[in-house]
Amino acid sequence: MEISTILPILFIVAMDVILFVIDRRNKIIFRGRNKYGIIVPVMVAVFIVVTIASKSFVLNAYNIILLIAILPIAVLGNKSGLTEKGILLNSYVAIWQKIESYSLDEEASRYVLLYKTNAGVRRIYFKKENIEEVRKYLSRAINYKHYRR
């Protein structure tokens, strides 16, 4: 194998390892859902299908290793919810001290947690069944002065 074939595989495997470590370190207490959480798995699936369907696709070891290395990206790094350290959204943890304000509002058949950090305003959706427990957990984790009605 040449260096031009080894570098993409190393980059993808390193990304897989980093996403796996982030997911393992941040145990989710209350699982949430990102509004656009389905985009990454769909993009990975479309990429694999287009790659296999292309006329220039050759079934060799390099292509098989590359396609297998890309598969974990579809499921890793796509989790959202509340953790002990902060709010996890797509493998990015906003720690409790960095959250400037938050609000918990009802939307149709679910609740949305809007929180503001220096990176902007983010949203996580929760099921109605867990909302009281989520409120209690947020009141303990974040100071009440940040809550905005």
Q: Tell me how many degrees the CA angle 77-114-44 measures, rounded to the nearest 5.
A: 25
Using CA of residue 65, residue 68, residue 70, residue 72, what is the dihedral sign?
negative
Under a CB-based contact definition with an 8 Å cutoff, are residues 67 and 73 in contact? Answer: no
Residue-wise pLDDT tens digits, 59-103: 888 888 888 888 888 888 788 889 888 888 887 888 888 888 888
Domain ranges of the chain: 3-27+36-75, 80-146
Residue-wise pLDDT tens digits, 53-68: 888 888 888 888 888 8
Q: What's the helix, strand, coil split of the chain in %, to 5?
A: 50, 30, 25
Q: Tell me how many degrees the CA angle 86-38-17 measures, rounded to the nearest 5.
A: 60
CA 79 to chain centroid = 4
CATH number of 80-146: 1.10.760, 1.10.3470, 2.30.29, 1.10.10?
2.30.29
pTM of the model: 0.74
